Amino acid sequence: MTAAAPDSGSHMNTDTTIGYIGLGNMGAPMATRLLDWPGGLVVCDARAEATEPFTAAGARAAATPAAVAAEATVISVTVLDDAQVRDVVAGPDGILSTARPGTVIAVHSTISDVTAIDLAQTCAASGIHLIDAPISGGAPGAQQGRLAVMVGGSEEAFAAVREPFGRFAELVVHAGEVGAGTRMKLARNLLHFISFTAATEAQRLAEAAGLDIRKLGKVVRHTDAITGGAGAIMLRETTAPVAESDPWFSILSHVRNLGEKDLSLALDLGERLDVDLPLATRALSGLGPGLGVGAGDLSETFEKEHA
């Protein structure tokens, strides 16, 4: 797996015309950053009015995905779901009906990895590359050009998209073969929404304790920006148990001990306030093993007391 800053590595031919299909909340700001691409930009959206700001800025508009593929050899797709992606790629007026061999289709929509693999096989029969390239960073990241893109595809296809993707992304990662980009996005969003659920649990505890949960939110956002949040522990190459001789053992044991202490205190507060904290309970028992260093004394003590 490789990760690259937008300007590193070999450069593609900038005479290549870029196509962009799907100009919604994410697609429009991403495509906007390609307006000055030297080879030109062709845009397409089911809503004709969505293309008007782009044509006013010098891009060309196409009525169908097929018309985009008649001009462009690198085509980004940001539409709603699997069904729309299938239609854009392989439908009656889809990209495949006019695309030339060597064309790269980049699907930014979060779809099933199975759909990505299936469509990639269909495209390969015509000498066309389809890559899954989901994005992370949301609308603010798109507006600021600070997205992360996780690419599943061949080295050749990755080389073709790395430079144009660098226009709207700060981080472009080659996750592996087709499907790997989507799997990485799903793992990333698993953490995202579990964290949201944990935030709701923390808010309930804080509210029951008479605290201003908006101020709590300010503190969380401030300190996560400093510490890196949950991603700060995602540095090892494996989730296997850590040997005591490994330098990581003392670091992660320290993290476990701090975490178990704070979780135990939070659970004690929850018991006194009659607030159920199921995620905190799960975290207390799972933190040490999850970090690869085993449960600590506080986790074992809690398990015995609540057996």
Tokens of 212: 């201003």
113: Cβ contacts below 8 Å, ≥ 6 apart: 132, 152, 179, 180, 182, 183, 186
For range 187-193, the mean pLDDT: 95
Q: How confident is the model at residue 298 (pLDDT cuts 50, 70, 90)?
A: confident
Contact 246, 252 (CB under 8 A): no
Q: What is the dihedral of CA 59, 65, 67, 71, to 10 degrees?
A: 60
Nearest to 203 by CA among 188, 185, 220: 220
196-228 in b/e form (b: 16+ CB < 10 A) is eebeebbbbbbeeeeeeeeebeeeeeeeeeeee
User: What count of residues does the chain have?
Assistant: 307
Spelled out in words, what is the top-level CATH class assigned to the domain 235-305? Answer: mainly alpha
Domain ranges of the chain: 2-184, 235-305
Report the percentage of the chain scoring pLDDT > 90: 91
Residue 156 has pLDDT above 70, yes or no: yes
> DSSP letters of 180-200?
HHHHHHHHHHHHHHHHHHHHH
Q: How confident is the model at residue 49 (pLDDT cuts 50, 70, 90)?
A: very high
The neighbouring-strand residues paired with 42 are 19, 60
pLDDT of residue 47: 95
Q: Tokens 């005591």 correspond to what residue? A: 244
Spelled out in words, what is the top-level CATH class assigned to the domain 2-184? Answer: alpha beta
Tokens of 205: 């505890």
Contact 296, 278 (CB under 8 A): no
Mean pLDDT (the chain, rounded): 94
Tokens of 143: 């507006």
pLDDT of residue 12: 54
Residue 26 has pLDDT above 80, yes or no: yes
Tokens of 125: 């029969």
> DSSP letters of 144-159?
HT-EEEEEES-HHHHH
Q: How confident is the model at residue 11 (pLDDT cuts 50, 70, 90)?
A: low
Nearest to 206 by CA among 106, 260, 307, 280: 280
- Strand 147-152 and strand 135-136: the pairing is antiparallel
Give pLDDT tens digits for 241-270: 999 999 999 999 999 999 999 999 999 999
**Catalytic positions, please?**
185
Cα-to-chain-centroid distance, residue 63? 30
Give pLDDT tens digits for 235-247: 999 999 999 999 9
pLDDT of residue 8: 41
